[in-house]
Structure 1
């Protein structure tokens, strides 16, 4: 196992800005990807007393031969870059994103005659415009709720849309003005 101090960057070389970092093993493989509000603070925590680290973190630090980082402008950018690097490199010490649950996105279905706004996770589909990722689905839902107060937008599934079109009555969101109710032709596809 490598000595953690051998992969430690020189003091003062790590920026205090937000960013994303990668630990690599001796073969150059990425073994861990992380993000930080302050790269200096976060990376310094890995090079303190190894006995104080969680066993899995200690194993990761002792496996690592080098660390590199990328400075970004905001924490949201760091979150996005971290997520994409984890998906790209599949580091062995990152377990957080290995399950099927992924970050949620705000999605607008442009491939439907009447586009709808929804929260989506997982693989991206063609004909859908994605915004995000977001750390929490509730944040997207609150955003959509606020948007719907100003711009009534369809959010229902294709089945609900079809059913309300057949019965000729809008859903509850259509009645309270949070949906433009294209299912009952209150708006045209062009609008």
Structure 2
């Protein structure tokens, strides 16, 4: 059963096609979004949508998994906390960056592509796949990327960049999920 895994970001999205257990037959790649100045969020995410659709059409995966964005944007204005003996707690100012806004749209496109084809899918928390594959869920972003590259080198998988390497790790994790195993057993 063919797994399509994504490690998405607004700069470069890594992807991996994996049919367990043969890691030698993995197909990996990445695509970039080089938005022009003044593009709207919809136009930027449209670039990703086109690339995602192309992967689904060309390779016809049977299970899809991607790294879930961990930060949930609940409010643009910070709320004042309750006071105690030290006084009223004032949270630091909240700055929303482009990643936080666009990653949700990209994930929505991946989810929609899977649902439109009635494919099983999962969004996995970075700590979860890192704990399972890299054996440490508390790695910071840069260390995790380095460990993912090392994992690919150890498995002799020719990942050209960190996003591809993390997509490989997410694909490996995908083969261990309950959703994948239930579908494979059916």
Normalising TM by the smaller chain, what interval? Answer: under 0.3
Bigger proportion of residues as helix: 2
How does the TM-score come out when normalised to structure 1?
0.21
Q: Between Structure 1 and Structure 2, whose CA radius of gyration is higher? A: 1
Higher RCO (C-alpha under 8 Å, 6+ residues apart): 2
TM-score by length of 2: 0.22
